[in-house]
Each structure stands twice: as C-alpha cells, then as structure tokens.
C-alpha cells in the first residue's frame, strides 16, 4: 500500500518545507534571536482581545455567513472608500478570508486554468507559485535587480503572451521593502488596458509605509480596479498573524466566481474574531498609527547598525529590512544565515530563496516587528560581524 502511495506523482515536486519553517525551527533549536519570519514578538491591543472574548460570550460561536459577517464587510467597504476612493459593495464585492494567503490561493484557483501563464515578480513571497502550479498554470518571471528593486515595465510588457491570464503584484513588497509608486501603477494600468489579464494585488503591508509615502492600492486606479483582487491581512495590521484573517475585494462578477471556490475551500471564517474586527476597525486610529509605529522601529534598528559593516537603503514599507553583507563575507546567503544562527545566535532569511534560480544578491532579510530590546540585542550582534 505505502510504496504505491509514494509512487503517485507529486503535484508539487519541487516544493520543500518553506524557508520560514526551516529557519524558525533552527532558531528555536539554537535559541537564536529570531528576526526571520514576519510576525511581531509583542502583544496585540488588549482591547481587540476583549472584543473577541465578548463576541464568544455573546454567543457568536456558530458558522458565520459564507462571505463573512456582514457588519465586518460593511466596515471594510467604508475603509477602502475612505482611503482609496473606490466603493466596493459589501454584499457582492467583499469576502472575508483565512488570511491573505487564502484570498490569493482562491483568486488563483478560481481563474487560472491549465496552461495559463501568470506573471510573478521576483523576489516573491512564497505562496504564489505553488497555487499557480496546483492549478496547472505556469509562472512567468520578471526578476528585479538588487540595486533598486524597481520593475522594468518594458521587460514586464515583453513577458505578456496570448496565454497570460493573471499578474501577481505585491506592494509594499516583501522581501525588498520597496513600494510601488503611482507612476508604476499607471504604467501597469496602461500595459494591462484592453487585455483580459487579471491582477492579484497582495497589499498585506498596506498600513506599513514610511517617510510620508502613500500606499498605492490597485483599487485607486479605475482600469486596474476592474480586473483586481485586492488581498489584505488583519494579521499583519493588528499584530495577530496567528488569527489568520484577511479579506478580498473585487468587482461583482469576479467576486461571484471567487466565492464559488471560497465556499468549498473554507465555507466561512472564524466568527467571533470577525465580530471583534468589525468593532475594532471602526476606529481608524487602530490602523492609521501603524506607519509611525513601525517607522520608529525601523529607524531604531537602522540607527543601531551605524557602526556595522552592512550596507543598506532604509526600507520604504513592510516590516522588513534588507542588509547587504558583501563587505563582510562572500558566502552564499543561506550559508551565512545558517552560520549566524549556529555561531551568533541570530536568525534571518536568506533572500536567494525568493529569487529566480535562487540568485545570490549578497543580502539578508531582517524582520523589525520586534520589541526594542530584541532589536537592540540583534543589532549588537550584527555590529560585531
């Protein structure tokens, strides 16, 4: 029985345990300071936790509506309209999901057919390509250069063929910390105009943008919005990545198709947490102060690295900072990352794992969504290298 099972062909032959799990396990084993995976090591607002408990006590413990609790969809709709000037109908155009991951997976599954091509910009967060492959699609890559991580829109245009079904865009961008500008979005809009190409817009770090810059949501641009799935994450915004809750907003016809897949993948999302989010989201301070909150952490981390031999450009958004180690070592990034864990007790992510063909750029990714004392200790280690 077992050998037969093993002989069956894997649908994801090239997928290994994710780099986040591998590094996280090693960090725990070696008791290293962990700046690898993207999650905070401080607590969320107690008010939010109280709201979840309250919702449970009030008896919201059975299935929520398949599309998500209506009260939450309503507040999400108001929030998007206020921030980006686009009105999404909470009845037909917003669905609450199990984090952004499920929103992205569902959008890809609902629309990508075998043989379809999906353009992915590398370095890329790791959940896009397996979803494309599971649906028989082919990822077509645009690789960014490590000197500026800017999209070359001419190169991008040249990757479009009659088979292109979808583009995945992520801004603010993990792992580079770059944000896509208004001009970039306008260029993308012109390239996609008059095509049937869909856009999955991964905007999980929408509220973590620095130095007075603005997040350019695809929902702001008329033609892009018509073809876009805006994917967002409450986990990232409210320091509760373990709650795995987010949403997808898209025009009615696209959302209709999206929900056909959503209802059989998860049906609905944790009900008490949705009730709590609906209440908590009503106060815009809960997300509008996040830029300043994380900018303070970024600035503290970078000022603590002043005497180090790492080179860096301050992150423009997300809670990740890339550090160039080429003046310190010529090792491969995965070798250096491993050595940092075992010898220096500090964990980070080697960025080659996000690149095309694991290209080596001589940079490591550090998550600064950490308590001040954690960042201080990490910087002390980094300054000694």
Ligand X SMILES: Cc1ncc(COP(=O)(O)O)c(C=O)c1O
Identify whether the C-beta of residue 130 lies closer than 8 Å to the C-beta of residue 139: no
Q: How far is the CB of 38 from ligand X (least distance, A)?
A: 4
CB 74 within 8 A of CB 96: no
101 part of the interface to ligand X, by CB under 6 A: yes
Cα 181 from chain centroid (whole Å): 17
Using the contact rule CB under 6 A, the part of the chain among 96-104, 178-186, 288-296, 376-384 near ligand X is 96-104
* Residue 227 half-sphere exposure toward CB, CA atoms < 13 A: 19
In the complex with ligand X, the residue whose CB is nearer, 217 or 308, is 217
Q: Which is nearer to ligand X, 137 or 246 (CB)?
A: 246
100 binds ligand X (CB under 6 A): yes
Q: Shortest Cβ distance from residue 133 to ligand X (Å)?
A: 17
Report yes or no: 382 and 34 within 8 Å, Cβ to Cβ: no
Q: Contact at 8 Å (CB) between 118 and 137?
A: yes
The correct pick among 24, 40, 99, 137 for binding ligand X (CB under 6 A) is 99
Please, is 82 exposed, middle or buried when counting C-beta atoms within 10 Å of its C-beta (0-12, 13-18, 19+)? exposed
The only residue of 235, 272, 317, 350 in contact with ligand X, by rule CB under 6 A: 235
Considering only residues 93, 129, 202, 361, which one is a binding residue for ligand X as defined by CB under 6 A?
202
- CB closer to ligand X, 235 vs 362: 235
For ligand X, which stretch binds (CB under 6 A), given 93-101, 221-229, 272-280, 342-350? 93-101
Indicate the residue among 233 and 352 with the shorter CB distance to ligand X: 233
Binding mask 237-256 for ligand X (x = CB under 6 A): ----x--x-x----------
Distance of CA 229 to the CA centre of its chain: 14
- Whether the upstream peptide bond of residue 123 has omega within 30° of 0, thus cis, is yes
Taking the least distance from each CB to ligand X, the nearer of 91 and 213 is 213
Nearer to ligand X, 88 or 234 (CB): 234
**To the nearest whole angstrom, how small is the minimum distance from the Cβ of residue 277 to ligand X?**
13
DSSP state of 384: H
Residue where the block lists tokens 């990822």: 139
Q: Which of 38, 40, 68, 272 contacts ligand X by CB under 6 A?
A: 38
| Cβ distance to ligand X smaller for residue 54 or 261 | 261
**Rounded Cα gap, residues 95 and 59, in angstroms:** 22
Instruction: Tell me whether residue 34 or residue 202 sits nearer to ligand X (CB atom).
Output: 202
Give the Cβ contact number of residue 30 at 10 Å.
Answer: 16
8 Å CB contact between 76 and 94: yes
Residue 85, exposed/middle/buried by CB under 10 A (0-12, 13-18, 19+)? exposed
Q: Which is nearer to ligand X, 235 or 350 (CB)?
A: 235
Work out which of 77, 164, 170, 219 binds ligand X, going by CB under 6 A: 170
Contacts of 304 (CB under 8 A, 6+ apart): 375, 376, 379, 380, 383
DSSP character for 113? P
Residue 349 contacts residue 336 (beta carbons within 8 Å) = no
Q: What is d(CA 355, CA 122) in angstroms, rounded to the nearest whole number?
A: 5
**Residue 272 C-beta: closest distance to ligand X, Å:** 18
Among 67, 171, 174, 291, binds ligand X (CB under 6 A): 174
Burial class (CB in 10 A: 0-12, 13-18, 19+), 170: buried
Single residue of 64, 168, 204, 208 touching ligand X by CB under 6 A: 204
What is the length of the chain? 385
Q: Is 233 in the site for ligand X (CB under 6 A)?
A: yes
CB 202 to ligand X: min, Å: 5
Candidates 82-90, 99-107, 217-225, 301-309; binding stretch for ligand X (CB under 6 A): 99-107
By CB under 6 A, the count of residues binding ligand X is: 14
Instruction: Considering the complex, state which of residue 146 and residue 385 has its C-beta at the smaller distance from ligand X.
Output: 146
Asked if 350 and 334 touch (Cβ cutoff 8 Å), the reply is: yes
Query: Considering the rule CB under 6 A, would residue 125 count as an interface residue with ligand X?
Result: yes
Positions in the binding site for ligand X (CB under 6 A): 38, 99-101, 125, 170, 174, 202, 204, 233, 235, 241, 244, 246
């Amino acid at each position: 029985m077992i050998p037969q099972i093993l002989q069956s062909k894997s649908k994801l032959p090239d997928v290994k345990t994710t780099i986040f799990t591998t590094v996280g396990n090693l960090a725990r084993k070696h008791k290293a300071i962990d700046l690898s995976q993207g999650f905070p090591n401080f607590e969320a607002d107690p008010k939010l936790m109280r709201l979840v408990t309250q919702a449970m006590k009030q008896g919201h413990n059975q299935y929520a509506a398949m599309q998500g609790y209506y009260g939450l969809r309503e507040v999400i709709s108001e929030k998007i309209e206020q921030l980006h000037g686009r009105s999404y109908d909470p009845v037909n155009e917003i669905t609450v999901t199990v984090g952004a991951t499920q929103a992205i997976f569902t959008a890809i599954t609902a629309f990508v057919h075998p043989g379809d091509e999906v353009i992915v910009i590398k370095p890329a967060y790791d959940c896009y390509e397996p979803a494309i492959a599971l649906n028989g699609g082919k990822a077509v890559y645009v690789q960014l250069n490590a000197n500026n991580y800017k999209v070359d829109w001419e190169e991008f245009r040249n990757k479009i063929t009659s088979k292109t079904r979808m583009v995945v865009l992520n801004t603010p961008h993990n792992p580079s910390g770059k944000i896509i500008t208004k001009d970039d979005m306008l260029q993308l809009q012109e390239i996609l105009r008059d095509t049937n190409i869909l856009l999955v817009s991964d905007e999980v770090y929408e509220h973590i943008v620095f130095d007075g810059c603005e997040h350019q949501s695809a929902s702001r641009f008329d033609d892009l919005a018509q073809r876009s799935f805006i994917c967002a994450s409450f986990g990232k915004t409210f320091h509760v990545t373990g709650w795995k809750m987010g949403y997808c907003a898209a025009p009615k016809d696209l959302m209709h198709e999206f929900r056909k897949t959503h209802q059989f993948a998860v049906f609905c999302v944790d009900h008490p947490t949705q009730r709590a989010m609906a209440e908590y989201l009503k106060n815009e301070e809960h997300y509008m102060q996040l830029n300043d909150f994380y900018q303070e952490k970024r600035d503290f981390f970078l000022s603590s690295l002043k005497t180090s031999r790492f080179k860096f450009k301050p992150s423009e958004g997300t809670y990740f900072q890339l550090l160039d180690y080429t003046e310190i070592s010529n090792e491969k990034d995965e070798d250096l990352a491993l050595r940092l864990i075992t010898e220096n007790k500090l964990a980070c992510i080697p960025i080659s794992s996000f690149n095309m063909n694991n290209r080596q750029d001589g940079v490591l990714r550090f998550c600064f969504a950490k308590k001040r004392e954690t960042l201080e200790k990490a910087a002390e280690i980094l300054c000694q290298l």
